[in-house]
Structure formats: C-alpha cells, structure tokens
Amino acid sequence: MEDYQEQEYEFLRRLEEDKIDRGKLLKRGLAAGAGLSIFSLSDVALATRQRVLQEPPLLGRSVSVAELIAEAKKEGRLNVIALPRNWANYGEVLDTFTRKYKIPITSDNPDGSSAQENQAVRSLKGDPRAPDVLDVGPSFAIDGANEGLYAKHFTRNFKKVPRVMKDGRGFWVADYYGAISFGVNTAVVSNVPRSFQDLLKPEYKNKVALNGSPLTSGSAVAGVFAAALANGGSLNDIGPGIDFFAKLKDVGNFIPIAANPQTIASGQTAITFDWDYLNLAYVKEFPSARIRVIAPSDGLYAAYYCQAINATAPHPWAARLWQEFLYSDQGQLLWIKGYSHTALYDDLAKRKAIPKALLNTLPKYSKAPKFASRAQLTAARAKIATDWPKRVGS
Amino acid sequence: MRRRIAPGAVVWLLIGVAYLLIPLVATAIYSLKSNQTGTCCTLENYGEIIHDPAFWKSFRISFVLALETIVIGLVLLVPTVYWVNLKLPRLRPVIGFLALIPFVVPPIVLVVGLLDVFRDTPDWFYAKPYGFLAAAYVILAFPYIYFSLDAGFRAIDVHTLTEASLSLGATWRTTLGRVIIPNIRAAALAGALLTFAIVMGEYTIASLATFDTFPVYIQDVNQNRGFPASALVLLSFGITWAAMIAIVLVGRGSGQASGAQVGGAR
Amino acid sequence: MDNLPRPAEAGRGRRLSLVWLGTLPFFAYAFLFLFLPAGQVLVGAFKDVDGGFTLENLRTLFDEPYRTGFKNSIEISLVTALVGGLLGFLIAYSAIREGTPRFIRSALITFAAVAANFGGIPLAFAFVATLGTIGVLTQFMANLGWNPYDHGFTLFGKTGIELAYLYFQFPLMVIVISPAIDGLRREWREAAASLGASSYQFWRHVGVPILMPSLLAAVILLFGNSFAAYATAYGLTAGFVNLVPVQIGFYLSGDVLDDPHLGQALAVGMFVVLAVMMLLYIPLQRRASRWAR
C-alpha cells in the first residue's frame, strides 16, 4: 500500500481509539490535506484508485457495499473450514450468505479442530482450495496472528465490539460465546442435576460424559474449568476440576467416552458437558431424548471463538464480504438464533434489534460467567497435560 | 474324500459370523429408531442418507480413488516382489521392514510432509484427489499389498516356473503376465480388497488435505446427526461389500479365483 | 531357499547392477512418498522448540504418561494380534478346507475385507450399541440375571478396546492367510491320513511348519495394524486409556497440547518398537523356512 494511505488509515484507526491528541490531530490533518490535494488531480486520482481496488481494503468502510459485493462476486467462491452446520446455526448462516450474494461456499472438514485450521492455512498456501476465513479458539487466534497467518481487516462495526473481544491490530474478532452447561436426556434421567455437586449422586451411575478428552479438545478443557470453579478452584487453578473428575470416575458416575449425537440420542451418555448453544440445538434435533439444558449453579465458565481472514486467501474480497455479513445485524441475528451470545449482542440489545421471541430462547445467566485469559489457559493446559492422565486416565 | 462340511469348521464359521454380525445388528436397531419418539420402527433415517447428494458424490470420489490406488499399487509391487523373490532374496526382509514404516508414520505427519513436498506441483496433481491423495494411499496400502503378495509368492515355486517358462522360449513379459500372475491371482486379489477397504475408510489424510471423500462425509454425519449415523454405517458397509463382490467377480474373470497351480514338481 | 548355495555367476558385477534396476520404480516411489515425510519425523524428534538439537524429547518418553502409553499399546497389540491371528486362522481354514461350499469362502473374504477396515467412531458406536451400559447384549444378559457391568466389566477400558480391535484384526488375518492356506495342498492331508497320521500329527509335522512363515508375517502385520490404530480407541474411550497413537494425535493436531516435536519423538518410539518386533521376526522367519526347498 502507498505510504500516504498507510498514514491515513493509521490516523483514522487511532482516531477511533482516542489515542490521538489535538496537536497530532492538526499535524496529521495538514499532511493528509496536502496529500489529498495533490492526489485528487482527477486522472492521477483515478489511476491510483483503480490500482488500489485490486487489493482489498484494510477498512471495511473505505469501499462501498456495492463495490465489495461486485469484487467478491468476481472471485466467484468462498472457502470455509471447520464449520459444522449445527454449530451456532452456521448451516443457516452459510445458506443465507450464498442465497443473498449468489456466491457458492465450499465447506471443508466440518469437524476440524482450531489447530487443523491454522495448519490448513500453512499447508495449503497458494492452493485455490485453501480456506479464506477461519473460526478458531482465542489462543489459536493469537498464535495465528503472531505467526502472520491472518490478514488485517477492520469491519464497519469493528469499534462496536468490546475491547476484550478483539485484536487491536485487526487480525481477529470474537464472534460468539456460550457457557458450559449440562445437557440432560430426560427420557433416561428423571431427576435433573442442577449443580456439579449433584452429579456425584449415586443415581447418576454410568451416566456422565465429557465431549472429548481435555488433552485435545478445547471445549473439554472448558468443562474441567467449570468443574474447577464449582469446587473451590479458580481461573488460576484448574486442579480442583481435575480432582472432581477423578472423584466422579471413582464413584462410577463418569464414563470415559466422547459424547456425540449418536450417544446422546440413544441415551448412552445421559448427561453431557458442552457449550450451551450446542446443547440447546440438540433439544430440537433429538426430540426423542427430551433434552433439558441446565446451567450449573455452582460454576459458570464461558469462552468465545474468533473470526480471522487468511493472509494468503485465494478469495480475499469474498472473505471480507463474509465478515461484513457476519457483523451486520442479519448475520448477528442468525448466530443468536443458534443460541449463542454474539460479540455485538450488547449493541443489538441496546438498540432493541433482537426480536422478543428470539431473546427468550437465549440461555439466561444468573451470574456473569467467567472467561479465562491467554495466560490462565496456558497454565491450565500445562496442568492438565501432567495431571489428567495420572488422575483420570489409565 | 469328504464332501460334507466338517463339524469343527461349522463351529468356527459360526463364531466368526456371530462376532461380525452382532455389532451390526445392534447398530441396525438404532438405525430403525425414529428421531421423534426414539422407538422402532422407521426407514426415515435411511431415506435421509440416500437422498443426500453429498453421500453419492463422496462415495463416487472414494470409489474411483480406490480403484486407482489398487492399480498403481499392484503395478508397482507385483513386478518388484516377483523380482525380489526371484533374484534378490536377501532384499526380502529389507522390504518387509520398509513395509512396517507406513504404520509408524502418523497420517497427520504424512499429510503435512506430503503437502509440503508437493506444494509447487501442477494443479492436476496437487489439487485433485486422484493425484495427490492416490499417491498417499498407495503408501498406506503398501504393507497390506506387500504381505498379501509375499504370502502368495511363497506358496508357489517362483524359480521353477520362471525357468520352465524361459526355457520354453517365453519372454520376461510373457512369463510375468501368463505364468506368474495367474498363480498369484488370489494374493493380488486379497491385496486389492484390502486396499479398497483402506481407501474407503481413510479419514485423517483426506480431511487434513481438505478433500471430500466418503469417510469425511461419514465423520461429518457421525458428529452432527443422531440415528441417521447408524443408518449410514450400515449403508456404507453394504455398499462397500457390494463393490468388493464386484471386484472379486471381475478378478475371477478368465480363470479360477483360487489360483490354479500350474505345473511345478511339488 | 535363502540358504541354498548359488551357482557362481560370471560377470557378476554387471549382472547384479541390472538386477537391482528392476526394483528402481518401487524404491523411487518409496523415497518420494515415504522416506521424505518419515525423515521429517525423525529429524523433528531431535529438535526443541527453538529448532536446536536436543535429546530431551526422547528422554521424556520414559516418563509417565508415555511409559504407560507404550505399555498399553504393546499389550493391546500383542493380545489382539495373537488372539486375532488364531481366530482368523481357524475361521479362514474352516472356510477354505475340503467340504465347505465354495460360496462361503467368497462371501467371507469380501465381508472380511470390509470388516478389516471398519473402524473409528462407527465401530466404537457399534460396540457401544452392543455392550455399552444400555447396549443390546448388555440388556439381554441383564434380563437373564447377569449384568456384566455389575461384575466389573466395562466397555470403556482396555478390554473394550481389545474387543473392538478384534473386530478388524481377525478379518485381516483371514484375508492375509487365505492365499497361504491355498498352498496347503489337500493331497498332503489325504496322504498323511492314508499313512495313519491323526489330525494333530498332520498339523504338528506338516501343516504348521509349512504355514509358519506366513503365519509369523501375518501376526506381525496384525501387530502393526493394531499398534497404529487410534480412531477406534479415541471413539470408545476418548483418550482416557493411554495409547501412543492417541497421544501423538493430541500433540500433532489437538487443540490443547502444543509440542509437535514431542509428538514426533513418540512416533520415533513407535518405530523403535516395530523395529524390535522386526528384529525378532527375521531369525524366527529364517528358522521357519529352513526346511522349505
């Protein structure tokens, strides 16, 4: 990008973040003015502008919606990765995008993990099948940004996203979050557990399962965190969570199988730990299981996932259109329909943009759920790596 | 000569059949359960899978991929194993050793390494399942094809057959094609069947290289849908078995499938 | 065949080089698609996070939980290889032997080929549906008064994994050993019978010695197959039973553990185990084929 453009964008960005004082404002205003007056000579401006449009913009606002859609349509496709259709209503999100902009989407490896998404960016660099956009866990988003896997982009609504949920440099933005909940198959279990303490009762023998091993699945780690919060631990100490699962295994209530839709529908895993937006989706998907979703009363842990654009995306304009769509009201409401709390939820609620019926389906939190920071996650993982196989494994 | 089946044989065959069928029957019971009520009996799960275009598309890709892998694997290994058995018997344990390597290289490592090495190859190889993925699958199938062929070559007298054929004036090609191959037909067929099953079941490499093969589709259904997953298991079992029977019938083609032993003083 | 003296060959040097050329296509392919990625694993195992040389990764393999991982993997692989091998052999022989209708063999071989690669979550769920806490067979046995879960059995542990692995191990044995059983001419069995030998004597002096090389090779294949399998074990026990391939998966493509070099070191450890197996196999094999012409 041209130097003056870099300065202009940097100026606008810092202005948003109120990091700029009057003196600097005036100086930069003069510089921008000088640059703009020279380059606004018509034919120079036209040539520059045309050259600029070859590359997608840094700021979503700097091109019009029509231009963005036109350039995206020229690319003709969007590659996404690791987006299961029933995860926070992604199925409808994908279909709506394709229907609205007539851009077909290739959805690869729907059950991939965040690590696999970052690896796909590395391994498939330069391949037309490489993923354009990613939805990864926060520590992978941070790693990917540091490694240079992502492109910088500020969507139109970037500044409305809470500070803690985005990367200031523009490499990633949080998309949605949910809290760890119990998904209870009431066709098998008549007395619904309400807290982690309840789970230790003998009536739940051979009924409780995680959705994977915390040695490999981020959401399973979240389950252990929630258990830690409920048993005297904290975000800095996940040990009590590991102890809880060891105890659950000793009394015979815990079955070491990874819960999946089949085991849930069949009733083999009658009580499962998972994100509330997933468990709530299962209620409709498996009517025979009469699932009830319970937010544990003694430990509420939440985490968000992050959107990012591949730095070497084969379809960069379509990728940016995708992000604009996701952070528009339409996209946000589709995610909310998937029972998740989105990044722009507070803004939408304030503007009363969420229909009452939809608002009532969302999980209500009696107290604020806790989120772990990068440092706390790293420490927790290290502890799980050493303690979990010993205490809970065999 | 006994013409009736031996009682001992009946016992073992029944045990084998029971072990293979009981889990499938249990899966079938779940596949007939309705999503609404959780009880028997409905065919809606099968309908859901059969009417899914992704099911047929991914099956077609995997099927063609499997045939391609079989052809490449056999073309590569039959002459090699023949040659080694004939001229370089000391190489046999070496190749047997090499045949164990695909077991130890985790598929994740293999695919990352392969993607790295072949990144700049032309698109017709790299971006298509029929190029890149077939190459990887031949490696995975290599131990199974090798050990099948090895068992087959041990069971025949390679030296005598070759010498007899050559002394009668046949060329190497004729010897290989019309004398040796018919005799190891059963072994080659066994290797082919195993390869087919491997390709139809391999998930890790296909998903990490983002190709949409049949196992990737199966995994997706398993992770995201309940009872239809059981229906899919049985459908995939049945359709793969039918394809295998077709291969056996083709392989039986012009000659007996059990491998007519030709000549040789035994 | 290995130990018969070879006639001296004139122009030996030139002959040999042409002979080796015949194996060129195979080795070229193996080099491109097998050695290069495998070499990466070997090299990576000795690297630390910053790229420098280290033996620390390999040393860690002797700590827990990796030691248990290797112990479990080897134990499960041995059990399923030997039991699967025996079961597979008996079933294959029953299908091929004199007196059994021909169609049984074709049906068995094709079905076995599908079963031999049935694995991962579908197989895990099939066993959960059968022997899980509310499985079909479990409920059947409970109705008869003996619930296995009340007597210490659980599907979600080592025994469960072994039962599930057998599902693909013995069919694999059936397929691999069938061509060798074909080599056991029925005339030999008849000749032995006509000389007054009993079934046991036939097997001990004729059948097993002839088949031993192939049996050994097949069992090694089964061991390797079981050792490398992980999707089924993960589907059944979600990694709660420590197994080496599962641990490798955690390190190389999981979302929690982040040390690819340790994963590569584990892979090197697997290779060492298989290499030891192979080293045991070679003298056994030589001894077994000693009597062959």
Give me the residue from A119, A216, A262 closest to C239, CB to CB: A216
Residue C7 has pLDDT above 60, yes or no: no
Residue C13 has pLDDT above 70, yes or no: no
Preceding omega of A104 cis (within 30 degrees of 0): no
Q: Mean pLDDT throughout A192-212? A: 91
Residue A38 has pLDDT above 60, yes or no: no
Residue C254 has pLDDT above 70, yes or no: yes
In the numeric block, the tokens 């409401």 are attached to: A333
Interface touch A262/B126, C-beta < 8 Å: no
CA–CA distance, B157 with B146 (Å, rounded to integer): 18
**Chain A residues closer than 8 Å to C132 by CB:** 268
**Chain B residues closer than 8 Å to A124 by CB:** 115, 209-210
Helices (runs of H) and strands (runs of E) counted in chain A: 16, 10
Per-residue pLDDT of B163-173, as tens digits, reads 888 888 888 88
Strand A172-185 relative to strand A341-342, pairing: antiparallel
Per-residue pLDDT of A132-149, as tens digits, reads 999 998 888 988 898 899
Give the ipTM of the model, two decimals please: 0.81
The whole-model pTM stands at 0.80
**Which range, of A41-45, A96-100, B45-49, C271-275, averages the lowest pLDDT?**
A41-45
Interface touch C257/A385, C-beta < 8 Å: yes
Smallest Cα distance from A309 to chain B, Å: 18
- Please give the pLDDT value at position A27: 57
Per-residue pLDDT of A72-89, as tens digits, reads 899 999 999 999 888 999
**Which range, of A206-220, A329-343, C240-254, averages the lowest pLDDT?**
C240-254
Smallest Cα distance from C198 to chain A, Å: 47
Q: Is C139 on the interface with B (CB under 8 A)?
A: no
Q: Is C231 on the interface with A (CB under 8 A)?
A: no
Per-residue pLDDT of B139-161, as tens digits, reads 888 888 888 888 788 878 888 88
- Please give the pLDDT value at position C102: 82
**Chain C residues closer than 8 Å to A140 by CB:** 255
> E strand or H helix at A330, and its extent?
helix A329-337
CA–CA distance, A262 with A259 (Å, rounded to integer): 8
CA–CA distance, B184 with B162 (Å, rounded to integer): 13
Q: What percent of chain A has pLDDT over 70?
A: 86
Residue B262 has pLDDT above 50, yes or no: no
Residue scoring higher pLDDT (A31 or A147):
A147
Contact (Cβ atoms closer than 8 angstroms) between residue B161 and residue B263: yes
Residue C3 has pLDDT above 60, yes or no: no
Give me the residue from B79, B144, B155 closest to C183, CB to CB: B155
Instruction: Say which amino acid occupies A36.
Output: L
What residues contact B137, with CB distance under 8 A and at least 6 apart? B65, B66, B69, B195, B198, B199, B202, B205
Interface touch B233/C253, C-beta < 8 Å: no
- Please give the pLDDT value at position C265: 86
Average pLDDT score over chain A: 84
CA–CA distance, B1 with C162 (Å, rounded to integer): 40
CA–CA distance, C270 with C277 (Å, rounded to integer): 11
Q: Is B182 exposed, middle or buried (0-12, 13-18, 19+ CB in 10 A)?
A: middle
Give me the residue from B98, B110, B150 closest to C37, CB to CB: B110
Token pair recorded at residue B178: 């019309």
Average pLDDT score over chain C: 81
Per-residue pLDDT of C35-71, as tens digits, reads 777 777 788 788 877 777 888 888 888 887 888 889 9
Task: State the alpha helices, DSSP H only, in C97-185.
Answer: 102-116, 120-131, 136-143, 158-182
Q: Mean pLDDT throughout C227-252? A: 82
Q: Mean pLDDT throughout B189-217? A: 85
**Which range, of A196-200, B136-140, B242-246, C21-25, averages the lowest pLDDT?**
C21-25
Q: What percent of chain A has pLDDT over 90?
A: 37
Instruction: Say which amino acid occupies B163.
Output: E
Tabulate helix, strand, coil % of chain C (nearest 5): 75, 0, 25
Q: How many CB atoms lie within 10 A of CB B18?
A: 10
CA–CA distance, C164 with A33 (Å, rounded to integer): 73
Q: Mean pLDDT throughout A340-344? A: 90
Residue scoring higher pLDDT (B83 or B128):
B83
Q: Mean pLDDT throughout C149-155? A: 82
**Chain A residues closer than 8 Å to C250 by CB:** 213, 215-216
CA–CA distance, C244 with B41 (Å, rounded to integer): 41
Smallest Cα distance from B76 to chain A, Å: 28
Residue A20 has pLDDT above 50, yes or no: no
Per-residue pLDDT of B62-76, as tens digits, reads 999 999 999 999 988
- Please give the pLDDT value at position A108: 85
Residue A3 has pLDDT above 50, yes or no: no
Q: Is C23 on the interface with B (CB under 8 A)?
A: yes
Q: Please, what are the domains in chain B?
A: 43-252 (1.10.3720.10)
Per-residue pLDDT of A271-285, as tens digits, reads 999 999 999 998 988
Q: Mean pLDDT throughout A358-381? A: 86
**Chain B residues closer than 8 Å to A119 by CB:** 112, 208
- Please give the pLDDT value at position C17: 60
What are the angstrom distances between the C-alpha of C262 and each of A393, B160, C256, C267?
Answer: 19, 51, 14, 9
- Please give the pLDDT value at position B260: 32
What residues contact B213, with CB distance under 8 A and at least 6 apart? B58, B61, B62, B65, B129, B133, B202, B206
Residue C10 has pLDDT above 80, yes or no: no
Please state at what angle helix C102-116 crosses helix B227-252, rounded to 10 degrees.
130
In the numeric block, the tokens 């604020």 are attached to: A368
Q: Is C36 on the interface with B (CB under 8 A)?
A: yes
Task: Return the DSSP state at A159.
Answer: G
Residue C90 has pLDDT above 70, yes or no: yes
Interface touch A213/C64, C-beta < 8 Å: no
Strand A105-108 relative to strand A150-151, pairing: unpaired
Ramachandran bin of A83, using left for φ above 0, alpha for ψ from -120 to 50, beta for the remaining angles: beta
Contact (Cβ atoms closer than 8 angstroms) between residue C272 and residue C227: no
Smallest Cα distance from B164 to chain C, Å: 17
Q: Is C31 exposed, middle or buried (0-12, 13-18, 19+ CB in 10 A)?
A: exposed
Per-residue pLDDT of A108-130, as tens digits, reads 888 888 888 988 898 888 888 89
Residue A133 has φ and ψ, to the nearest 5°, of -130, 155
CA–CA distance, C225 with A198 (Å, rounded to integer): 43
Instruction: Say which amino acid occupies A60.
Output: G
CA–CA distance, C237 with A164 (Å, rounded to integer): 37
Contact (Cβ atoms closer than 8 angstroms) between residue A337 and residue A89: yes
Instruction: Kindly provide the b/e burial profile for residues A111-127, where b requires at least 16 CB atoms within 10 angstroms of the residue's own CB.
Output: bbbbbbbbbbbebbeeb
Smallest Cα distance from A15 to chain C, Å: 37
Q: How many CB atoms lie within 10 A of CB C196?
A: 7
Q: Mean pLDDT throughout A187-211? A: 90
Most confident of A46-50, B171-175, C289-293: B171-175
Residue scoring higher pLDDT (B227 or C166):
C166
| N-terminal to C-terminal alpha carbon distance within chain A | 56
Which CATH number does C62-288 carry? 1.10.3720.10
Residue scoring higher pLDDT (C23 or C118):
C118
Most confident of A13-17, B98-102, B135-139, B175-179: B135-139
Interface touch B126/A127, C-beta < 8 Å: yes
Q: Is C263 on the interface with B (CB under 8 A)?
A: yes
Per-residue pLDDT of B92-135, as tens digits, reads 877 877 787 777 676 767 777 777 777 767 767 766 778 888 88
- Please give the pLDDT value at position C34: 76
Q: The dihedral of CA B51, B56, B59, B63: what is its sign?
A: positive
Q: The dihedral of CA B13, B19, B22, B27: what is its sign?
A: negative
Strands (E), A84-123: 105-108
Per-residue pLDDT of A277-315, as tens digits, reads 999 998 988 888 889 999 988 889 999 999 999 999 999
